[in-house]
Structure 1
């Protein structure tokens, strides 16, 4: 199936506010918004950590993550700054460790308190989409029978506001690390305001690559078998998911880590792919090794022409951080978009 290149040039592009600049010490939010706007992106994903950090400027102190009266004020201020730069706020993220908590647990109480508070933030920020990542709560603390009912209830809570859920497979999730897992759950939830947040890193980083092996690839099969298996998965994706159930596609690549990561969880309980995600995600064509174009092409073959959103955490090949010219980096991301859609359509990319 040949993709119509003209249809790809109209794809709207966004940039995750949290992911421009060094992952370990993000520059001021307004500097990042300036760079994203100058580089001709039309929207941002607003991250909750950015609301907390910008709150120090708006409020004069660090806000409590549960003080939603104050967080609403900060979100309103960020919206005004985005409006002046002609940037929409496409989505609020990342809503983590939400679904599946056991009845009566502190985790369950916290999850629903956060859900109610984040709805208020969405209203203040003027966004209609909430990203929910497939939980990485340890399975011993999860009741898998509650995953679908929890997401149904969340959708029903968002519905009167005109809001929707973009459910993403985090490749280190304890229960839904692959696109097939989250797609099965979304179908079972069966609400018109839930769809998928697909991600080139989460897809290829889970089904193709492995930061704990010497090769950087999954090693349960030969390289040839891995290629066939991954290609079959992408073919299945392109034929299985309706285009209107994909709400956005996040874009990033991954560096091969200098030394294989430990397979054990770290002191924060984070699995190796979660640690890899934090610092080793550059823009495509900039030193990574994932088959990003293959993932993008498969998603486009569904007919999806919605948001492409750049979410990179580029700590350099060693993961220790590197200096970034924010405007130049954002412009590079814009150029990457042009190359990605050209290559997905089988065209030779010619830099402007």
Structure 2
């Protein structure tokens, strides 16, 4: 376990995902960055769709997701906007469905070309972290053989290392092969590169081991609640004891609504139920959710980690139908609730 440094609020830098605020087209990227900066956050996770959207607004026409000349010129403008609001870009996200494609497939060629293009964007916006989500491509299209997954991620890690960049690998709770923190940690350990680590996430961790949006109780089915609590506590203890602090690059923070009525257990618009839950039902801490997010944050801090806490929420209200709010008070509340979370999880208390 990492050395238990005393925890002060000042030690933990706070970031906010650019895609996690705003209710509609009038909440443009410049206005979102202003609200995030005024609330006191120090950095953003820059979401790739935000580059595309802002680029269309800036250039007056849609940008192709592989037009890296146009994308880098837009990224340069975004960096300037961030600077004007006292923000840096902590990470570029979300790089999805990267690993496991067959060796000579067009998909594998495409993801490596995309990686090269995103590296150019990273140079321009001034970030050194690329977030990769554990793929949710169906298992009949990709290999979920561990050695293939590890080999692909190692190759990407080596590409990033040439630029002194890092890869933050995240479990998505609906991933085909790595829904939990333990699977992504085992993969990162096997990749065994100094610049490949973890993006941990309170929602994704609880969404794979605690909650279930298709269940009437909101909890994983067929496990008695007291048994579930015990298993989850054991998992968090294991996380705290096994992951070295320097292998965690950030902790993303969000809660989840208990969905009522529960989501249907089927794929809709290409998304599994947990994917839909992630997309629309994720409020900030202390704002209506029910997941044991303090237990997760406490376990991460017990490793000795003192890096980024990053707000990544997708709050379309308890019914997932949309939610209206003013961005500045919303961002300020997010900052207050982030600080409350940190105080409540202070291992020295």
Q: TM-score, normalised by structure 2?
A: 0.96
The match for 1:343 is: 344
The match for 1:313 is: 314
- Cα deviation code 1:127-179 (max 9, x no counterpart): 11000000000011112242111111101111111100000000000000000
Structure 1 residue 163 corresponds to structure 2 residue 165? yes
The match for 2:240 is: 238
Runs of 4+ in 1 over 3 A off after TM superposition: 1-9
- Cα deviation code 1:285-304 (max 9, x no counterpart): 00000011111000000000
Q: TM-score, normalised by structure 1?
A: 0.95
The match for 2:253 is: 251
- The separation in 1 between residues aligned to 2:346 and 2:59, in whole angstroms, is 48
The match for 1:187 is: 189
Segments of structure 2 that go 5 or more residues without pairing to the other structure are: none
- Cα deviation code 1:220-275 (max 9, x no counterpart): 21000000000000000000000000000000000011211121111x32111000
Superposed displacement of residue 347, structure 1: 8.8
Q: 1:346 to 1:183 in 2, by over 3 A?
A: closer
The match for 1:11 is: 12
- The separation in 1 between residues aligned to 2:212 and 2:271, in whole angstroms, is 15
Segments of structure 1 that go 5 or more residues without pairing to the other structure are: none
The match for 1:290 is: 291
Asked whether the 8 Å contact 1:13–1:43 carries over to 2, the reply is yes
Superposed displacement of residue 109, structure 1: 1.8
- The separation in 1 between residues aligned to 2:222 and 2:166, in whole angstroms, is 37
The match for 1:154 is: 156
- Worse-matched range after superposition: 179-188 or 107-116: 107-116
The match for 2:131 is: 131
| RMSD of Structure 2 on Structure 1 (CA) | 1.7
- Cα deviation code 1:11-43 (max 9, x no counterpart): 000000001123x75820011000000000000
The match for 1:98 is: 98
- The separation in 1 between residues aligned to 2:225 and 2:89, in whole angstroms, is 41
- The separation in 1 between residues aligned to 2:32 and 2:58, in whole angstroms, is 17
The match for 2:35 is: 35
SS at the partner of 2:97?
A: coil
- The separation in 2 between residues aligned to 1:337 and 1:58, in whole angstroms, is 32
Asked whether the 8 Å contact 2:7–2:346 carries over to 1, the reply is no
Asked whether the 8 Å contact 1:8–1:305 carries over to 2, the reply is no
Asked whether the 8 Å contact 1:3–1:344 carries over to 2, the reply is no
